[in-house]
């Protein structure tokens, strides 16, 4: 009797435990009978009942879920390869359709990999690199304060774009949203997480940056050479001015000294007739000394003043 009661209690417990199930706030449930869905999805939380043993509870998450794709190399319209890393947010809005087509989240993630990866590749291939890198068409570049207006007009200008990264993301979202909707999935958002230049693209980007820096360096070098020439010209002008001023002062001093010396000589030799004769004789001798050298032939008129002392000499 006791064994029968024990068996009855165990049977009742199994029956009740297999008839009652709990629905959490973060999930929705589809009941299947022999693998086929029965009724609509249960979305309200609490204790629920089902037919024991022949019906099965299939919980489905109703929170916003994450999809994080793997970085993939893709060619742009201008034949440049970039590594694109994408992420998205999605939610199961039709659990019945989701269960029939995908069954579980792993299958959903795999299908999202295929759809989002394909649409991303198509969108990237239809746009040039600058359209994917830049965010908006009205973006103002950060300019170096040392650039002139002419440099800013050439080096500081951005290539015009028609769409930008945000609109490319919208294109991917619109194309993928309609395709995942048939699986009972609503695509909430999609964003580029990272876009890296491929190894084949980086040298071209670096060469462009180097070229711009070289143009700025050449401008600075040209301005420096011009400033150096201006400074050297100013220095030469000032040096010539100082030298000419010094030469003028020297000549003035020399002239004043000569005048003073002449005045002293004149005062010294104009005291009497003998002094005047001696002065004339001395100056004439100095002239002979400076004019007559070895093997010099001097032709003078007998009436010449320079010949008067030679004429009066006793042979």
- In angstroms, the Cα distances linking 275 to 187, 281, 310 are 129, 10, 20
Q: What is the CATH number of domain 65-198?
A: 3.30.479.30
CA distance 28 to 41: 7
Can you tell me the distance from the alpha carbon of 296 to that of 56, in angstroms, rounded to the nearest whole number? 144
Q: Spell out the alpha helix ranges (H) of the chain.
A: 2-19, 95-101, 105-125, 129-133, 149-154, 165-180, 202-269, 273-291, 308-311
- Other beta carbons within 10 angstroms of residue 243's beta carbon come to 10
179 within 8 A of 101, measured Cβ to Cβ: no
Q: How do 20-23 and 46-49 pair as beta strands? A: antiparallel
Phi, psi of 83 (to 5 degrees): -95, 115
pLDDT tens series, the chain, 315 aa: 677 677 767 666 666 666 787 888 888 888 888 878 887 888 888 887 777 778 788 888 889 999 998 888 888 888 888 889 999 999 999 988 898 888 888 999 999 999 999 999 999 999 888 888 877 655 555 555 555 555 555 555 556 677 788 888 999 999 999 999 999 999 999 999 888 877 766 777 777 778 877 877 888 888 888 889 999 989 999 999 999 999 989 988 988 888 888 778 777 766 666 677 777 777 777 777 777 777 777 776 766 666 666 666 565
Domain spans in the chain, listed from the N-terminal domain onward = 2-61, 65-198
Distance CA 155, CA 80 (A): 22
Nearest to 28 by CA among 91, 109, 77: 91
CA distance 191 to 51: 44
Does pTM surpass 0.85? no
Note the pLDDT tens digit of each residue in 55-68.
788 888 889 999 99
């Amino acid at each position: 009797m006791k064994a029968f009661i024990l068996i009855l209690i165990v049977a009742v417990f199994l029956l009740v435990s297999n008839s009652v199930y709990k629905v959490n706030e973060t999930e929705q449930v589809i009941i299947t009978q022999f693998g086929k869905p029965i009724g609509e999805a249960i979305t309200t939380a609490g204790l629920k009942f089902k037919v024991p043993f022949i019906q099965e509870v299939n919980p489905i998450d109703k929170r916003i879920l994450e999809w994080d794709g793997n970085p993939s190399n893709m060619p742009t319209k201008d034949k440049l390869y970039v590594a694109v890393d994408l992420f998205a947010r999605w939610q199961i809005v039709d659990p019945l359709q989701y269960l029939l087509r995908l069954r579980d989240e792993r299958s959903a993630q795999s299908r999202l990999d295929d759809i989002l990866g394909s649409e991303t590749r198509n969108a990237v291939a239809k746009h040039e690199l600058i359209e994917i890198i830049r965010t908006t068409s009205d973006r103002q570049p950060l300019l170096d304060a040392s650039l002139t207006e002419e440099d800013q007009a050439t080096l500081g200008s951005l290539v015009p774009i028609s769409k930008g990264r945000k609109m490319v993301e919208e294109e991917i979202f619109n194309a993928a949203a309609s395709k995942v909707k048939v699986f009972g999935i609503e695509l909430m958002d999609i964003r580029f997480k990272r876009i890296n230049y491929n190894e084949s693209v980086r040298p071209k980007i670096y060469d462009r940056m180097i070229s711009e820096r070289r143009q700025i360096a050449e401008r600075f070098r040209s301005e420096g050479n011009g400033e150096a020439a201006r400074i050297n010209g100013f220095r030469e002008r000032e040096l010539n001015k100082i030298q000419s001023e010094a030469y003028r002062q020297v000549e003035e001093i020399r002239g004043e000294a000569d005048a003073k010396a002449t005045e002293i000589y004149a005062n010294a030799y104009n005291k009497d007739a003998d002094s005047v004769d001696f002065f004339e004789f001395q100056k004439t001798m100095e002239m002979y000394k400076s004019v007559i050298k070895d093997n010099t032939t001097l032709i003078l008129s007998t009436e010449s003043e320079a010949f008067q002392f030679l004429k009066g000499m006793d042979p």
